[in-house]
Amino acid sequence: MKLTFWEAAEAIKATNDWKQWPDFDLTGIEFDSRLIQSNNLFVPLKGENDGHSFIESAIEKGVGATLWSATKAAPEKLPTLQVSDTLKAMQDLAVYYLKKMKPTVIAITGSNGKTTTKDMTEAVLAQQFKTYKTQGNYNNDIGLPYTILHMPDETEKLILEMGMDHANEIDFLSRLAQPDVAAITMIGEAHIENLGSRAGIAKAKMEITAGLAKSGLLIIPADEPLLLPLTKELPQAIKTFGLVQADCMAEIIEAQKEFTSFKISGSNTLFTIPVLGEYNVGNALIAISIGQWFELSEEKIKIGLADFKLTKNRTEWLKSSTGIEILSDVYNANPTAMNLVLDSFSQMPTQGKRVAVLGDMLELGPDSASMHASVSEHLKPTEIDEVVLYGSEMQALYDSLTTKYEKKYLHYFKKTEKAALTDTLKEILEPKDMVILKASNGMGLNEVVTKLLEI
């Protein structure tokens, strides 16, 4: 980290007499006292637990300095920067650090696929540049400035994931990060409970342009009619992606369980990504478009996509000890995303039967029941042999499937019956079967995945 104590004090406009301490180089920044290393700057955040109460732990680990906004006195001998709000101070420091280090910033948002797209984009740009990306799901008002302040000194391209639950959240993140390139993966139904409609979600995702450089690039899906009208007054270059009528358009050549190959319009290069699904081809088209914007060769883009590493729990293929193939996609879910992955799963070749385990999709608001029921259109007994549903919201899908599936091939469990669900899966799954698990993260299906791996 190229930042000194005095420099940080000036950047955040600390209100105390910080020059009473000699200046020194900060080695990093942390808000979790357990992660503190020598000469780090500690940011005690106020949440369920007040971070100020962990200052002694930070001191024991060799912290160099701390931000401070508590009414109680700061430790006397520890270099301290007094501020009114430690989170805002960290955000202000991130803004300063971006201006100092001057990386090119790429911002990615969307109802689904933003983490995969971030991973693909980083892998592509890493073929030519020093890159750094959002780690895990650090994509909010805490995680984004934290990511900025953790980027390596040599970073040339910084890929930031931007998440949201409510309107105006991405607006804030975009103005903080000031991206040069921005991309929206898709508009689904996630958080529709807070935003009212898909149109409301589209408008919230378009907030990513709030801080976008006027000479920059915005990438959007060609098949989303809610977005294009919102781009008409924008000064930035607009590029669409998709499988039909798009600026960056793909033709799928081969789709298998563990890879998908495709070509793009105007090129004979065969691109391959180590994941399944048309929706992931869309994510790859964003990474290709970004690579093209920064003038990477097709060969470098091809290599980056072929080798990219997927963040855990995003459409991850696993195998049990007896050979059951498990498609784990349990980090998040909305109807659009669930339908897309079911369509791909339905076509995957298998020597056994296909089984779908679907849990509640959360935060869908008053239309949740109808949205869950609508997934029935993507479940066919000729393609998915058995369906296991989990959670109170999935009752609506269960009811809609009773006319399509024989009772013995349709199972329903309440959220309190996770153990019974797992036991049923152990009974019905056999070697060479293929099973998909898809739900919102709050349903905890990752625990079921762990149990299935032991079969």
Residues 132 and 220 in one domain: yes
Structural domain for 120, as ranges: 103-307
Residue 165's pLDDT is: 84
Q: What is the pLDDT of residue 117?
A: 97
pLDDT at 336 over 60: yes
Instruction: Of 22-26, 94-98, 134-138, 151-155, give the lowest mean pLDDT range.
Output: 134-138
pLDDT in tens, 384-397: 999 999 999 999 99
pLDDT tens figures, 341-366: 999 999 999 999 999 999 999 989 89
> Is residue 110 part of an annotated ligand binding site?
yes
> Looking at residue 192, what is its pLDDT?
79
Q: 68: part of which helix (H) or strand (E)?
A: strand 65-68
* Total number of domains in the chain: 3
- Confidence band for 11, pLDDT divided at 50, 70 and 90: very high
Residue 79, CA atoms < 13 Å, CB-side half-sphere: 22
**pLDDT at residue 60 greater than cutoff 60:** yes
Q: Which residue has the higher pLDDT, 343 or 331?
A: 343
User: Could you tell me if residue 93 is inside a domain?
Assistant: no
In this prediction, residues 15-36 reach a mean pLDDT of: 97
404 labelled as ligand-binding? no
> DSSP states of 146-184 as a string?
HHHHHS-TT-SEEEEE---SSTTHHHHHHHHH--SEEEE
d(CA 428, CA 384): 13
Positive or negative torsion for Cα 144, 149, 152, 158: positive
Report helix, strand or coil for 419: helix
Q: What percent of the chain has pLDDT over 70?
A: 99
Cα 354–chain centre separation: 27
* Residue 257 confidence (pLDDT): 86
Tell me, what's the pLDDT at 357?
98
Rounded-to-integer distance, Cα 262 and Cα 271, Å: 5
CB 26 within 8 A of CB 16: no
My answer on whether 111 and 159 are in the same domain is yes
Residue 191: per-residue pLDDT = 72
The pLDDT assigned to 363 comes to: 86
- Judge whether 134 is annotated as a binding position: no
Q: Is 62 marked as binding a ligand?
A: no
Residue 314 banded pLDDT, cuts 50, 70, 90 = low
Phi, psi of 51 (to 5 degrees): -60, -25
Report the range of poorest mean pLDDT among 32-36, 310-314, 326-330.
310-314
Cα 11 from Cα 18, distance rounded (Å): 12
Same domain, 238 and 210: yes
Looking at residue 199, its pLDDT comes to 92
pLDDT of residue 188: 84
What pTM does this model have?
Answer: 0.86
Residues 179-206: tens digit of each pLDDT: 999 999 999 887 777 877 989 999 999 9
User: What average pLDDT does range 209-219 have in this prediction?
Assistant: 98
Q: How much is the mean pLDDT over the chain?
A: 95
CATH of the domain at 41: 3.40.1390.10
304 is in an annotated binding site: no
The region of weakest confidence among 59-73, 96-110, 192-206, 255-269 is 192-206
pLDDT at residue 189 in the model: 83
Same domain? For 140 and 202 the reply is: yes
Do 171 and 28 lie in one domain? The reply is no
pLDDT score of 329 more than 80: yes
Please give the pLDDT value at position 315.
Answer: 75
Q: What's the CATH code of the domain at 219?
A: 3.40.1190.10
Question: Is the pLDDT confidence value at 313 over 70?
Answer: no
Q: Do 59 and 125 lie in a common domain?
A: no
Q: For residues 215 and 297, state if they share a domain.
A: yes
440 is in an annotated binding site: no
- Weakest mean pLDDT among 79-88, 102-111, 115-124, 305-314: 305-314
Residues ≥6 apart with Cβ < 8 Å to 163: 109, 114, 137, 139, 140, 169
The answer as to whether 98 is a domain residue is: no
Say if residue 283 is in the same domain as residue 324.
no
Of the three residues 25, 51, 84, the one that is the final residue of a domain is 84
Residues 224 and 201 occupy one common structural domain: yes
| The domain boundary residue, chosen from 278, 307, 336 | 307
The more confident residue out of 70 and 3 is 3
Same domain, 289 and 394: no
Distance of alpha carbon 46 from alpha carbon 54, whole angstroms: 11
Q: Residue 113 annotated as binding? A: yes
Residue 311 has pLDDT above 80, yes or no: no
209 CA to centre of own chain = 18
pLDDT band at 48 (very low <50, low <70, confident <90, very high): confident
